Amino acid sequence: MGFYLNPPADDFAAVLNTGLYVDKTQLIQYTNSVLNSAMKLTCVSRPRRFGKSFAAKMLAAYYSKGANSKELFQNLKIAKSKEFAKHLNRYDVLSLDITWFISNAPSIRDTVTDMQKYVIEELREVYPDCISSNISTLPMALAQIGSRTGTKFFIIIDEWDALFREAKDDIELQKSYLQLLRGLFKGMQISQFVIGAYMTGILPIKKYGTQSALTDFFEYTMIEPGTLAEYVGFTEKEVRQLCEEHSLDYEEASTWYDGYQLGTVGHVYSPNSIIKAIYNKRFSNYWTQTETYESLKIYIDMDFDGLKTAIVNMLGGGRCVIDTGTFQNDMTSLKSKDDVFTLLVHLGYLAYDADKKEVFIPNEEVREEFIRAIKNGGRPELVKAVLTSDELLAATLRMDSETVAKLIDEAHSANTAPNFYNNEQALRSVILMAYLSSVDHYSKIQELTSGTGYADIMFLPNRGSDKPVMIVELKWNKTSDGAIAQIKDRKYAQALENYGGDILLVGINYDVKSKKHQCTIENIKKY
């Protein structure tokens, strides 16, 4: 039993002792199935606080010869597997937390050298006379042990990409680290000393051109979650059960923390946010407390074409189509809006719909971080969009139609390209973006079937909100009074027959000739 080699099960026991462990041990069933095979190298990337380290601790407790963990697993799902006992505490495990080595190195530049030195020292204690005195690299040390004893190692590397994130401009350090990883995981000889590997990180394995630096790994990311989607993060079913057990409102939990969509599993939540909401008995911004908004601000402030408009649109609940293929899996080779947004998917600031190839802000927790980053960033046009939206919503709610028309004029000019200015769809897009602050209080529904037609946009108050319903009708070269008349004539408010509060009717017309908007607002009670 050692610190890096064959660790005990203490870390996993501590996780179980919290009393809020969600059983993810079926991940072990997968790693068992690929041991000693061509698929034995696994890399899972997820954002911070998504349960990556918990999975690494679980695997170390299960495989390590230095642990006696049968009792820890006996009531968990993996214990029902036919091969549970076959692999339990049977292997030499190397468990390496890269952030630990970074934190304890005299300088971050010493990380790769120090890591190999300390691990080799432990290996020499357990395998005396197996490692030649002149060996200073970990791959060669493991290779010599393997050739002389037949021993194969299960290697766990937690936060494998920490050096790429914390020393993102130190190319030489990155190269030496990649050389170490290639020695461990690339080449014909590794089968002689590696029985399996599990790496966790935030970023996928770095690309050079179109090629991965470690081609033998099977990767599972936020873009391509594959068969491991449900094992890192909480599924909708698991969150519903936790909310029921701990008397939390699931719908409110969904508003705050839902939004990530991973393959066939569907909705996946950040475990950190759900667990803290349970402990604190309240919903709040927990995930983004793990990292300052400064990092998000850097990417928002990048001056790529279309970035500003896309962010404003997503703040208002919209989506943006992107190409994820150009991203080089690092934080410095960003050449386009698509690269920035793909990175933000991996960091957890955006969610990705693989079927539609669209990104969007996943939930209220992350949206708060976007607003904070924008207000403290270097893009005044984004700050203005947010502040204008706050003012627009406030003017609408106080039925100040003149101010509403003026602010929509400004939003239309700022967010619509001149060649699309005289376009009905552009008006709808501008209205949706202009009311981006509405997501704090409302759910937006476009073209809702009601009465004898379709309401253009209906803003329905979120649960617990004291705001009125807003029904918005848009007109082109007509009148805003005509828009109000259409809402009434076609009985759009019939869809709200069970709603007992106030209903604001908002008519907006755009005059192509004057390039001005008119607005009429009425307050009615339930019909």
The residues of the chain scoring below 70 in pLDDT are 1, 207-213, 287-294, 415-426, 447-453, 498, 525-527
In CATH, the number for domain 10-230 is: 3.40.50
Specify the pLDDT at position 484: 94
Specify the pLDDT at position 424: 64
Domain residue extents for the chain: 10-230, 234-289, 291-378, 381-524
Specify the pLDDT at position 82: 92
Q: Which of 103, 97, 23, 108 shows the shortest CA–CA distance to 58? A: 23
Q: Does domain 381-524 have CATH number 3.40.1350?
A: yes
Phi-psi region of 297 (alpha: psi -120 to 50; beta: other; left: phi over 0): alpha
Cα separation, 115 vs 169, whole angstroms: 20
| pLDDT tens digit sequence for 37-78 | 999 999 999 998 888 999 999 999 999 999 999 999 999 999
CB-based burial of residue 129 (10 Å sphere; 0-12 exposed, 13-18 middle, 19+ buried)? Answer: exposed
Specify the pLDDT at position 527: 42
Q: Which of 395, 357, 424, 373 shows the shortest CA–CA distance to 521? A: 395
Q: Which helix (H) or strand (E) holds 478?
A: none
CB 370 within 8 A of CB 315: yes
Q: Which helix (H) or strand (E) holds 43?
A: strand 41-45
